[in-house]
C-alpha cells in the first residue's frame, strides 16, 4: 500500500498548497463587505471543464496507483512467474506516442486557428489510438496462443487486467474524441472547439504516461526501483 | 465553455448568466424524469435511497426477530440470516447513507448554498443518478436470483465470499460486485460535479471562508470519496475475476468441499487492505456531511454564530486527511504484521483530536444560545450525544489490546451502529425537517415530528446501550443463534428479546415520519421562503421551492459569512449572507 500512500501524499501537498492560497486563516466574522474588498478566495478563472478533467485525472490516477499497489503486494508471493512481454508492445507504445503527438499537433493548430490542422491531428490521433487498441488485442491473442492464460499465473492475470483497464480508459477517451471530431466536421467555430481539443490532448498525454508506467512494471524494468523503495521503507 | 475570461473583474462570475449556459427542459419527461436540474436529481436520489433503505430496515427487523426469539420463526434459516446481515450492512452504508448525503443533500444544497444556478456539468449529473439507480436495481435483483443475495458479510472477505457454502455463491456475489462497480462509476460522475461546482461556480463574494459548514463537509467528503472508492473498485474487479475467471488475486490454495480448488497463492489480506482503504474513509464520507449539516442546524436554531468557524473548517480538512491513514485498525485480528497495529492505533487516537474540537465547538455554540427546541434542533442535539457515545467506544476499540477480545462481539455492533448508524441518521432526519420547507414550500407537522424524534432517540438508546453489555459478556456477532453456551447467562437472552421489541417499535415509528412527509406535502402549513429565519443563501431564493436556475434574473452577491445571528445592534437576529453592509459602513469604506 506504500504506492498509494505516496500518491496521496503528493495530492495532499498539492491540495495543501492550493488551500494555502485561499486565506484559510481569514476571520470571516470580521470581514463584512463586498467581494473585491478581500483578495483571494474567489472561484478559479480556469474553465470548469478543465478543472473537472483535472479532478477526474486525480481519480483515475488513484485507481491505477491502487492497481499498482495490489500488483506489488501480490508480486512478492512465491508463485509469481513473470511472463515474457510480447515484442508487439513496443510497437504499440510507439503508436500511442504518435497518437499523443498528433493530438498535441491538433491543439497547437487550434491555437493558430488552423481548422485543417486540427482536423488532421484529431483524425490521426484517433486512428492511431484505434491501432494501439487493436495491437493490444493482438498481443493478448499471441499470449493466449503461447499458453499464457489469464488464470494460469497471477503475473498473467495482472497483465491482462492492467492492459484492459488502460484500454477501457482509452476507449472512453475515444468517445470524447469522436464527439469533438464530429462537431469540427459539422463546422463548429474553432474558438469554441479549442478547449475540447486541449482536454483531449491532456487526457491522451495522461494515458500515455500511465501506459509507460504500466509498461515499466509489466516488463520488470522498474523491479530494481521497487526493490530500492522497499528497502528504504523497511 | 471557452476559456475567455469574463468581462469585468477577472475571476468573478458575471451577475447575469447567459441563457445558453443553462439547460432548459422542453417536456414533462425532461423536467421531472430525465431532468438535468440538480434539485430534481437530488429528490430522485433521496427517494431511491429511502426506498432501498426501507428494504434494509425490514431486513433488520427479520434479524432482530431471529435474535430475540430464536427458533420461533421457521421462515428464517441460517443462510438467510447471513444474507440479511450482508444486505442490511451494504445497503445502509453505501446505497443509503452515501447516496443520501452526497447525491441527495449534496445535489440540493451545493448549488443553492454557493449561489450557483445549477451544477457545472448537469448532463453528467443526470447520468450519475441513472447509473446509481441501475446499481440499486442490480442489487435488489439479487433477492430474486437463484441462491439469493450473497451472505458473505458486508465486507465480502475472500476466500469465503466466493466459495461454495457461502449463500449466494452463484449469482448473489457476482451481482453484488457488479452493483458496487456501477455505484462507483455513478458516484464518480456525481462527485466530479460536487467538487467542481464548489471550486468554480461560487457566486461573487462567496470566498471559501464564507461557505456554510454544510458545503465544507459535503465538499471534503466528496473529495475523500473520489479517492477512496477506487480502492473498492479495484477490490471488486479483482474479486469478480477470481470468481468468474478463476484468477488467484486474493484466493489462496485451499480444499473446497473435499477437493483441492483451482486457486493458489492469492492473498486474502490484500483484499482486506484494499477494502478498508476504502472502508475507513467511508465512515468519514458519511460523518463529514453530518458534521457540516449539524453545525448549520445548531447555529440556526440556537440563533448564535458557530463557535470557532475557522477551527471547524480546519478540523474537517484534518479529519479528511487523517482518515486515509487509519484503515488497518479494522484489521487487528486479520493476521497482519502485529507492529502495524500500534501505528494504526496511534493515528486512530490522533483523529479523535479534531473530532473532539468539533464536539466542543458545537457545545460552545449552544452555550448561552437562544435555543429553539424545534424538531431539527432536537435531532441535532440527539446527534451530538449519540456521536459522543459512539465515538468514546471507538477509542476503546482503536486500542489493539482492547479490540482483540471485543472484536467478534456485539460490542462492535453497538459501537458502529451508534457512531455510524444512529448518529448520521439523526442528522439526515434533522436535515429533512429543516430543509423540507425549502423543497416543498410547506412545514412538516410538528407534533408528528416530536413523536418521531422521541421514539427514535430513546429507542436507539434502548436498543444499542444493552448491546454493549451483551458484547462485554462475550455474546458473539454474526451468529444465527447462540445455542447453549455456558458463558452466556439466560438474562442475555431476555435482553435480546427486549432489544428486538424496541427495534420493531422504532422501526414502525419511522412509518409515522414517512406518513408525515406525504401528509405535509398536501396539508402542511405554508412555510414561506425562510421559516427558520436563516442566513444562508438557499433561504434567500426569490421563489420557494426554488425555480429552475434558482435565482431569477440575477445571481446573489455575498457580503458576509454564513453565521451572522444575533449580531449586536442589528435590526433582526439574523443577517442574510446577501444583505449589503449598512450604508454608513459603505461611506466609511469609500472614504478610506
Q: What is the 3-state secondary structure (H, E, C) of B413-425?
A: HHHHHHHHHHHHH
Beta bridge partners of B574: B565
- The number of residues making up chain B comes to 592
The sign of the CA dihedral A53, A57, A58, A63 is positive
Query: pTM for the whole thing?
Result: 0.94
Q: How confident is the model at residue B60 (pLDDT cuts 50, 70, 90)?
A: very high
Q: How confident is the model at residue B447 (pLDDT cuts 50, 70, 90)?
A: very high
Lowest mean pLDDT across A28-42, B37-51, B468-482: A28-42
Q: What per-residue confidence (pLDDT) applies to B412? A: 95
For chain B, give every domain's residue range: 35-249+263-591
Q: What per-residue confidence (pLDDT) applies to B308? A: 93
Mean pLDDT of B117-123: 93
pLDDT in tens, B268-312: 999 999 999 999 999 999 999 999 999 999 999 999 999 999 999
Nearest to B207 among A42, A63, A161 (CB): A42
pLDDT at residue B553 is higher than 50 = yes
pLDDT at residue A77 is higher than 90 = no
Element housing B256 (H / E): strand B255-256
Complex confidence, ipTM: 0.94
Instruction: Give the domain range for residue A139.
Output: 85-233
A34 with B248: Cβ contact below 8 A: no
Nearest to B208 by CA among B113, B98, B320, B107: B113
- Across chain B, what does the average pLDDT equal? 91
Q: Please state the domain count of chain A.
A: 1
Other CB atoms within 10 Å distance of the CB of residue B480: 17
Q: What per-residue confidence (pLDDT) applies to A173? A: 96
A–B: how many Cβ contacts below 8 A? Answer: 188
pLDDT in tens, B377-410: 999 999 999 999 999 999 999 988 899 999 999 9
Q: How confident is the model at residue B505 (pLDDT cuts 50, 70, 90)?
A: very high
Q: What per-residue confidence (pLDDT) applies to B19? A: 46
Say if residues A163 and A136 touch (Cβ distance below 8 Å).
yes
B240 to each of B177, B237, B245, B405, how far by Cα in Å?
7, 5, 8, 33
B580 with A34: Cβ contact below 8 A: yes
Enumerate residues 178 to 207 of chain A having a beta carbon within 8 A of any beta carbon in chain B: 191-192, 194-195
Phi, psi of B45 (to 5 degrees): -55, -45
Beta-carbon contacts of residue B92 (< 8 Å; ≥ 6 apart):
B53, B56, B421
pLDDT at residue A112 is higher than 50 = yes
Chain B partners within 8 Å of A46 (Cβ): 3, 200
State the smallest CA–CA distance between residue A50 and chain B in angstroms: 9
Q: What per-residue confidence (pLDDT) applies to B96? A: 96
At B310, list the grid cell: 475557522
Nearest to A115 by CA among A127, A106, A104: A106
By percentage, how much of chain A surpasses pLDDT 90? Answer: 61
Element housing B260 (H / E): strand B259-260
Report which DSSP code applies to B565: B
B208 with A24: Cβ contact below 8 A: yes
Mean pLDDT of B456-475: 95
pLDDT at residue A223 is higher than 80 = no
Say if residues B32 and B86 touch (Cβ distance below 8 Å).
no
pLDDT at residue A210 is higher than 80 = yes
The whole-angstrom separation of Cα B176 and Cα B108 is: 28
Phi, psi of B259 (to 5 degrees): -120, 150
The whole-angstrom separation of Cα A128 and Cα A99 is: 5
Question: Is B226 part of the contact surface with chain A (CB cutoff 8 Å)?
Answer: yes
Nearest to B199 among A24, A51, A63 (CB): A51
Report which DSSP code applies to B142: T
Q: Which residue has the cell 436529481?
A: B41
Mutate: best of A13, A55, A162, partner B, most B CBs <10 A: A55
Say if residues A46 and A31 touch (Cβ distance below 8 Å).
no
The whole-angstrom separation of Cα B412 and Cα B150 is: 22
**Is CATH 1.10.238.10 the right assignment for the domain spanning B35-249+263-591?**
no
At B556, list the grid cell: 446573489
- Report if residue A100 sits inside a domain: yes
pLDDT at residue B2 is higher than 50 = no
Chain A partners within 8 Å of B12 (Cβ): 35-36, 42-43
Q: How confident is the model at residue B7 (pLDDT cuts 50, 70, 90)?
A: very low
Q: How confident is the model at residue A169 (pLDDT cuts 50, 70, 90)?
A: very high
- Across chain A, what does the average pLDDT equal? 90
Q: What per-residue confidence (pLDDT) applies to A92? A: 96
**Would you put residue B303 in left (φ > 0), alpha (ψ -120 to 50) or beta?**
left
Beta-carbon contacts of residue B231 (< 8 Å; ≥ 6 apart):
A4, A62, A66, B274, B275, B277, B278
Nearest CA in chain A to B251: A154
The whole-angstrom separation of Cα B395 and Cα B467 is: 17
Enumerate residues 239 to 298 of chain B having a beta carbon within 8 A of any beta carbon in chain A: 241, 245-249, 262, 264-267, 270, 273-274, 277
pLDDT at residue B10 is higher than 50 = no
pLDDT in tens, B196-218: 999 999 988 898 999 999 999 99
Q: What per-residue confidence (pLDDT) applies to B589? A: 47
Say if residues B364 and B356 touch (Cβ distance below 8 Å).
no
Q: Which residue has the cell 458545537?
A: B362
Beta-carbon contacts of residue A140 (< 8 Å; ≥ 6 apart):
A160, A163
B13 CB-side CA count, 13 A:
30
Nearest to B12 among A1, A5, A35 (CB): A35
Lowest mean pLDDT across A35-39, B185-189, B216-220, B415-419: A35-39
Beta bridge partners of B565: B574
B357 to each of B217, B307, B360, how far by Cα in Å?
15, 11, 5
Q: What per-residue confidence (pLDDT) applies to A41? A: 58
Nearest to B143 by CA among B113, B111, B168: B168
Q: How confident is the model at residue A79 (pLDDT cuts 50, 70, 90)?
A: confident
B296 to each of A168, B84, B370, B391, B431, how far by Cα in Å?
42, 36, 15, 21, 10
Q: What is the 3-state secondary structure (H, E, C) of B298-342?
A: HHHHCCCCCCCHHHHHHHHHHHHHHHHHCHHHHCCCCCCCHHHHH
CA B223 from chain centre, in angstroms, equals 14
Q: How confident is the model at residue A38 (pLDDT cuts 50, 70, 90)?
A: low
pLDDT at residue B560 is higher than 80 = yes
State the smallest CA–CA distance between residue A130 and chain B in angstroms: 24
pLDDT in tens, B154-163: 999 999 999 9
Q: What per-residue confidence (pLDDT) applies to B591? A: 45
Other CB atoms within 10 Å distance of the CB of residue B165: 10
Torsion of CA B165, B167, B168, B169, to 10 degrees: -10
Q: What per-residue confidence (pLDDT) applies to A221? A: 78
Beta bridge partners of B259: B256
By percentage, how much of chain A surpasses pLDDT 70? Answer: 94
The whole-angstrom separation of Cα A112 and Cα B479 is: 70
pLDDT at residue B571 is higher than 90 = no
Phi, psi of B477 (to 5 degrees): -90, 170
The domain that contains A204 carries what CATH number? 1.20.120.80
Q: Per residue in B366-393, is it b (16+ CB within 10 Å) or e — as a string?
A: beebeeeebbbbbbbbbbbebbbbbbeb
Q: What per-residue confidence (pLDDT) applies to A43? A: 63
- Report if residue A136 sits inside a domain: yes
Q: What per-residue confidence (pLDDT) applies to B9? A: 42
Amino acid at each position: 500500500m506504500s504506492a498509494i500512500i505516496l500518491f496521496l501524499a503528493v495530492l495532499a501537498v498539492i491540495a495543501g498548497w492550493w488551500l494555502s492560497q485561499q486565506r484559510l486563516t481569514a476571520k470571516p466574522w470580521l470581514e463584512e463587505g463586498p467581494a473585491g474588498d478581500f483578495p483571494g478566495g474567489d472561484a478559479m478563472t480556469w474553465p470548469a471543464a478543465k478543472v473537472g478533467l483535472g479532478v477526474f485525472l486525480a481519480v483515475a490516477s488513484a485507481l491505477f496507483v491502487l492497481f499498482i499497489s495490489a500488483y506489488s503486494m501480490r508480486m512478492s508471493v512465491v508463485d509469481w512467474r513473470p511472463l515474457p512481454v510480447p515484442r508487439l508492445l513496443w510497437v504499440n507504445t510507439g503508436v500511442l506516442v504518435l497518437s499523443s503527438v498528433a493530438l498535441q499537433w491538433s491543439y497547437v493548430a487550434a491555437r493558430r486557428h488552423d481548422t485543417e490542422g486540427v482536423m488532421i491531428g484529431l483524425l490521426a490521433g484517433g486512428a492511431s489510438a484505434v491501432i494501439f487498441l487493436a495491437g493490444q488485442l493482438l498481443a493478448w491473442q499471441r499470449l493466449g496462443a503461447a499458453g499464457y492464460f489469464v488464470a494460469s499465473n497471477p503475473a498473467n492475470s495482472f497483465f491482462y487486467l492492467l492492459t484492459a483497464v488502460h484500454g477501457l480508459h482509452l476507449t472512453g477517451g475515444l468517445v470524447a474524441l469522436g464527439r469533438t471530431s464530429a462537431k469540427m466536421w459539422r463546422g463548429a467555430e474553432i474558438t469554441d472547439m479549442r478547449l475540447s481539443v486541449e482536454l483531449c490532448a491532456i487526457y491522451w498525454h495522461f494515458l500515455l504516461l500511465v501506459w509507460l508506467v504500466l509498461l515499466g512494471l509489466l516488463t520488470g524494468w522498474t523491479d530494481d526501483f521497487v526493490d530500492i523503495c522497499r528497502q528504504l521503507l523497511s | 465553455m471557452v476559456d475567455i475570461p469574463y468581462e469585468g473583474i477577472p475571476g468573478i462570475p458575471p451577475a447575469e448568466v447567459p441563457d445558453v449556459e443553462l439547460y432548459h427542459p422542453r417536456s414533462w419527461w425532461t423536467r421531472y424524469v430525465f431532468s438535468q436540474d440538480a434539485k430534481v436529481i437530488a429528490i430522485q436520489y433521496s427517494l431511491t435511497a429511502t426506498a432501498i433503505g426501507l428494504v434494509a430496515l425490514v431486513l433488520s427487523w427479520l434479524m432482530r426477530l431471529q435474535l430475540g426469539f430464536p427458533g420461533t420463526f421457521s421462515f428464517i434459516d441460517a443462510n438467510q440470516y447471513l444474507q440479511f446481515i450482508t444486505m442490511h450492512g451494504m445497503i445502509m452504508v453505501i446505497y443509503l447513507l452515501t447516496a443520501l448525503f452526497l447525491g441527495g443533500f449534496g445535489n440540493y444544497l451545493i448549488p443553492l448554498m454557493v449561489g450557483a444556478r445549477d451544477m457545472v456539468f448537469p448532463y453528467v449529473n443526470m447520468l450519475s443518478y441513472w447509473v446509481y439507480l441501475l446499481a440499486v436495481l442490480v442489487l435488489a435483483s439479487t433477492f430474486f436470483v437463484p441462491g439469493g443475495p450473497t451472505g458473505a458479510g458486508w465486507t465480502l472477505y475472500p476466500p469465503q465470499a466466493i466459495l461454495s457454502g457461502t449463500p449466494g455463491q452463484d449469482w448473489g456475489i457476482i451481482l453484488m460486485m457488479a452493483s458496487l462497480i456501477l455505484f462507483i462509476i455513478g458516484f464518480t460522475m456525481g462527485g466530479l460535479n460536487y467538487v467542481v461546482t464548489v471550486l468554480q461556480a461560487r457566486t461573487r463574494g462567496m470566498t471559501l471562508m464564507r461557505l456554510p459548514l454544510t458545503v465544507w463537509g459535503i465538499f471534503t467528503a466528496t473529495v475523500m470519496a473520489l479517492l477512496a472508492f477506487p480502492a473498492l473498485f479495484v477490490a471488486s474487479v479483482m474479486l469478480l475475476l477470481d470468481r468468474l475467471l478463476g484468477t488467484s488475486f486474493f484466493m489462496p490454495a485451499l480444499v473446497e468441499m473435499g477437493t483441492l480448488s483451482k486457486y493458489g497463492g492469492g492473498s486474502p489480506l490484500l483484499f482486506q487492505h484494499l477494502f478498508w482503504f476504502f472502508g475507513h474513509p467511508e465512515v468519514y464520507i458519511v460523518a463529514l456531511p453530518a458534521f457540516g449539516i449539524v453545525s448549520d442546524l445548531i447555529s440556526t436554531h440556537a440563533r448564535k454564530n458557530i463557535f470557532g468557524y475557522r477551527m471547524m473548517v480546519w478540523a474537517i480538512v484534518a479529519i479528511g486527511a487523517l482518515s486515509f491513514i487509519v484503515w488497518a485498525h479494522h484489521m487487528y485480528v486479520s493476521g497482519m504484521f502485529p507492529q502495524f497495529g500500534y501505528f494504526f492505533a496511534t493515528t486512530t487516537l490522533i483523529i479523535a483530536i479534531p473530532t473532539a474540537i468539533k464536539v466542543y465547538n458545537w457545545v460552545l455554540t449552544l452555550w448561552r444560545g437562544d435555543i429553539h427546541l424545534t424538531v431539527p434542533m432536537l435531532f441535532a442535539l440527539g446527534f451530538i450525544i449519540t456521536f459522543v457515545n459512539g465515538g468514546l467506544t471507538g477509542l476503546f476499540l482503536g486500542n489493539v489490546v482492547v479490540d482483540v477480545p471485543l472484536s467478534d462481539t456485539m460490542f462492535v455492533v453497538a459501537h458502529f451502529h451508534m457512531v455510524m448508524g444512529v448518529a448520521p441518521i439523526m442528522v439526515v432526519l434533522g436535515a429533512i425537517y429543516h430543509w423540507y420547507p425549502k423543497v416543498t414550500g410547506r412545514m412538516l407537522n410538528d407534533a408528528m415530528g416530536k413523536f418521531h424524534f422521541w421514539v427514535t432517540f430513546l429507542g436507539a438508546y434502548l436498543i444499542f446501550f444493552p448491546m454493549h453489555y451483551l458484547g462485554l459478556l462475550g455474546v458473539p456477532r454474526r451468529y444465527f443463534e447462540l445455542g447453549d453456551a455456558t458463558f452466556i447467562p439466560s438474562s442475555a437472552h431476555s435482553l435480546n428479546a427486549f432489544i428486538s421489541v424496541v427495534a420493531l417499535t422504532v422501526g414502525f415509528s419511522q412509518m409515522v415520519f414517512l406518513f408525515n412527509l406525504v401528509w405535509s406535502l398536501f396539508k402542511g402549513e405554508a412555510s414561506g421562503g425562510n421559516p427558520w429565519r436563516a442566513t444562508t443563501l438557499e433561504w434567500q431564493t426569490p421563489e420557494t421551492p426554488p425555480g429552475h436556475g434558482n435565482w431569477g434574473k440575477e445571481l446573489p452577491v455575498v457580503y458576509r459569512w454564513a453565521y451572522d445571528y444575533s449580531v449586536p445592534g442589528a435590526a433582526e437576529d439574523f443577517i442574510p449572507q446577501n444583505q449589503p453592509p449598512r450604508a454608513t459602513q459603505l461611506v466609511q469604506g469609500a472614504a478610506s
